[in-house]
Amino acid sequence: MHRKKLVAANWKMNLSPGQGQDLVKRIKSKLPENLNCEVIIAPPFVYIASLTALLEGSPIQSGAQHCHTESSGAFTGEISADMLSQLGVRYCLVGHSERRQLFQESNDFIRGKVDVILKNHMVPIFCCGEPLEIREKNGQNDFVRKQLEDSLFHLKADVIQQVVIAYEPIWAIGTGVTASPDQAQEMHAYIRSVLEANYGDQVSTEVRILYGGSIKADNAAVLFSQPDVDGGLVGGAALDPDGFLAIIQAGNS
Q: Which residues are catalytic?
A: 96, 168
- 238, 10 contact by CB (below 8 A): yes
DSSP notation for 29-55:
HTS-SS--SEEEEE--GGGHHHHHHHH
Is 29 in contact with 240 (CB distance < 8 Å)?
no
Q: Which residues are bridge partners to 6 per DSSP?
A: 38, 231
CB-CB neighbours of 98 under 10 Å? 20
- Sign of the C-alpha dihedral computed for residues 187, 191, 197 and 201 taken in this order: negative
Q: What does residue 44 show for φ and ψ, rounded to 5 degrees?
A: -60, 150
Compute φ and ψ for 175, nearest 5 degrees.
-100, -15
DSSP state of 60: E
Q: How far apart are CA 217 and CA 215, in angstroms?
A: 7
Q: What's the length of the chain?
A: 253
Nearest to 88 by CA among 155, 31, 41: 41
β-pairing, 209-211 vs 164-167, is parallel
